[in-house]
Amino acid sequence: MSDLRDAVAEGFGACYGRSPDGIWSAPGRVNLIGEHTDYNDGFALPFAIDRRTVLALALRDDGRMRVGTSLSPDVVELDRGRLAQAEGWSAYPLGVAWALGQASVVGEAAADLAAVPGFDVYLDSEVPLGAGLSSSAAIECAMAVALNDVWRLGLDRRALVKAGQAAENTVVGAPTGFMDQTASLFGARDQAVLLDCRSFQIDQVALGFAEAGLTVLVIDTGVDHAHATGGYAARRRSCEAAAAALGVPSLREVGVADLDRARTVLDDETFRRTRHVVTENQRVLDTVRLLREAGPSAIGELLDDSHRSMRDDFEISVPELDLAVETAQSAGALGARMTGGGFGGAAIALVPHELLSLVQVAVDGAFAEHGYAQPESFVVDPSHGACRDR
């Protein structure tokens, strides 16, 4: 991280010819369990990871708002009135600037975009893009904490979560929930964030992976995904249709005991989408209970069940993810599942320390045997949330 902060400060200077006012960062996240439950008012259990997006910012004397990154040769500039029209990668940071000015999003403390100073921003990231580790929320949350500081808005972190989600939904155009931003802003070392998406209640849950001799291995398949495209939106529409047909405001109101009735009301595809969400909510609660009562070594079967549900009922896995999960399980992982919105990205495996190399070698070999590009696998540790670094 220290090297990345230095690199971002140097990149800022090269881009704008001056020094930044400060450096901020925000982590990506791994969702331990609870996929596609957030927009259904359900439960999720993500944790922030030790891979971060770093952002340097300096205020301007005028209203110009510029963003640059090592990931693109172009500096994007928009005036205050056009922030919601940002496109491509710049929609994430500039969308947050727009959202922080909307009282309907963050409340009465919203920024007066006609009066706040402009800014120059430069960012870089060690969160893999398109891997299902929420590189987008890491950008949004780093931008949110930075502007909250320099514009002196005094917003709490729940408001910053809403700003990140609004940027993603309205400016980027991806119909995502707010689980990713919550993990990035509320993460803590060795803790997962139990998120009740209906009440916005947030509880920290001790993980204890290292103490139990376990490692969380991320297997990035290299299959890119984009939530603004059709698959994610189609699943969300299906869930909303199911709730309407069942006469409830959201699938949070449907329990496992209600699935027999749901089967008689819904067509087969919509029922399977519903069954995933309902059983996934229960798996989140069961995982929290086992972590607290028996420790992390007891949660492997729930991770396996979650992947089967996403593969068979929600149909958001891809062959590369299935292969990563199955190979990790066979090589000794206690449990494994795809993580993130699906249609590509990464899988996670809960692996005893002594079997880590064996699992990585087995996955590499399986991908080569099937003619797939070699995946990138790496260990992640539960880490702290978004903050100012300098």
Q: How far apart are CA 1 and CA 139, in angstroms?
A: 15
**Rounded mean pLDDT of 224-236?**
74
Q: Tell me which of 120, 124, 180, 304 is the catalytic residue.
A: 180
Q: How far apart are CA 87 and CA 67, in angstroms?
A: 12
Per-residue pLDDT tens digits for 273-284 = 999 999 999 999
All structural domains of the chain, each given as residue ranges with its CATH number in brackets, are 2-204 (3.30.230.10), 207-380 (3.30.70.890)
Per-residue pLDDT tens digits for 48-92 = 999 999 999 999 998 899 999 998 888 999 998 899 999 999 999
Quote the pLDDT of residue 63. 87
Sheet (strand 346-352) strand order: 335-339, 346-352, 214-220, 376-380
One-letter amino acid at 37 equals: T
Contacts of 174 (CB under 8 A, 6+ apart): 136, 168, 226, 227, 228, 232
Model confidence at 225: pLDDT above 70? no
Per-residue pLDDT tens digits for 138-187 = 999 999 999 999 999 999 999 999 999 999 999 999 888 899 999 999 99
| 3-state secondary structure at position 152 | coil
How many CA atoms are closer than 13 Å to the CA of 174, on its beta-carbon side?
A: 26
**Rounded mean pLDDT of 30-34?**
97
- Residue 388, beta-bridge partner list: 24
Model confidence at 272: pLDDT above 50? yes
Quote the pLDDT of residue 174. 86
Tokens 């919601």, residue? 84
Alpha helices in 100-192 (DSSP H): 103-106, 135-150, 157-166, 179-186
268 given a catalytic annotation: no
Question: What predicted TM-score, i.e. pTM, was given to this entire model?
Answer: 0.93
